[in-house]
Amino acid sequence: MPKRRDILAIVLIVLPWTLLITVWHQSAIAPLLAIRKACHHLVKEIFIIPERLAVRHHRLSDDGVEGKREAGGQAQDSKEYCASDKDIVEVVRTEYVYTRPPPWSDVLPTIHIITPTYSRPVQKAELTRLANTFLHIPNLHWILVEDSQRRTPLVTRLLRETGLNYTHLNVETPRNYKLRGDTRDPRIPRGTMQRNLALRWLRETFSANSSQAGIVYFADDDNTYSLELFEEMRSTRKVSVWPVAFVGGLRYESPKVNAAGKVYGWKTVFDPHRPFAIDMAGFAINLRLILFKPQAYFKLRGVKGGYQESSLLRELVTLNDLEPKAANCTKVVGLGPAEGKTSESPDKCNQRSCLNHQKKEGQGGGWGSYERGFNPSD
């Protein structure tokens, strides 16, 4: 039978080790329990919408950026330990939550983006891509003009769901005015009347004496745009210009800028002697200039392919007035459509290949009805 002294010695030896092992075990398992709980919470945040799974984004809490970073780090760690819970899915029925544009600023000028569009199989895809870009730009107003007899439900619904500030207009191009694929055809290029209707809407909505600061930009729905481009154009005093990629049979077209920062010519192969040998995506105009010169429109008749831009700009400015952006036109911030790409080098691009790669096909339309969906006082 053990003596009392031996029992006391055993207790004094075993007890500290027992406490030490208990504390170590709790400290080692606590993070795993926390991760498992976070993992289960992450799985609960997953909800199902038609044809895809989407993860609901948490709004930034009152804790600020640090709180967001901590939440992001926890979610990332949680995904590594979610293998055991992959079969646990709780479906939460909810509406799709679109990202909303940045808050409106009273300091920044409004960028009025004019986009002509027409019905085709890829129309919704093209407009969705544009909308997803525009959602990142503060103080943006999208003027979308359909080439149709009436505003279509597809475009109406898409605009409403984006959350953007927009005006939805429509005007149908008369059939006898539409191009038929021949560059020598005298009929007007696509989008001409739609752009003119948007210019008319701006002049009817804003007074020439208004203090409303704004920039006007023509963004076709088959192009891609850098976010940097919109910040570049926001400081436009008259007309600003920059390079555009994948047009005119070249990797990019660009204004030529001298050491004094003035435009003196054009890097292009297709008819470089045009007054303004520039693509529609390569310039922006100050709204006040549009308002002060009401005669400035895109010409409907007597304009060759590739001269639409010149027909408007020559009514607004001279070559000396142009303001080169994008680091004096050394950076490409606008991309033409994918079908505008060419693998030919500039030296090998002849007149015929340039014509084949021009995106100056297109039609326009006569005056039509429009909806004032944007309030400049908002």
Q: 86: helix, coil or strand?
A: coil
Residues facing residue 335 across a β-bridge: 224, 245
In terms of Cα–Cα distance, which of 50, 160, 10, 35 is closest to 85?
Answer: 35
Q: 116: helix, coil or strand?
A: strand
Cα–Cα distance measured from residue 292 to residue 275, given in angstroms and rounded to the nearest whole number: 22
358 in Cβ contact with 185 (< 8 Å):
no
Q: How far is CA 331 from the centre of its chain?
A: 18
Cα–Cα distance measured from residue 38 to residue 74, given in angstroms and rounded to the nearest whole number: 8
- Which amino acid does the sequence have at 126? E
Q: 330: helix, coil or strand?
A: coil
Cα–Cα distance measured from residue 217 to residue 225, given in angstroms and rounded to the nearest whole number: 12
- φ, ψ (nearest 5 deg) of residue 225: -130, 140
Question: Catalytic annotation on 309?
Answer: yes
Residues facing residue 215 across a β-bridge: 111, 286
Residue 158, C-beta contacts closer than 8 angstroms, at least 6 positions apart: 124, 127, 128, 131
In terms of Cα–Cα distance, which of 153, 154, 133 is closest to 217?
Answer: 133
Report the sign of the C-alpha dihedral through residues 257, 280, 109, 294, in that order. positive
Cα–Cα distance measured from residue 241 to residue 266, given in angstroms and rounded to the nearest whole number: 11
Q: Which of 309, 339, 344, 371 is catalytic?
A: 309
Q: Which residues are catalytic?
A: 309
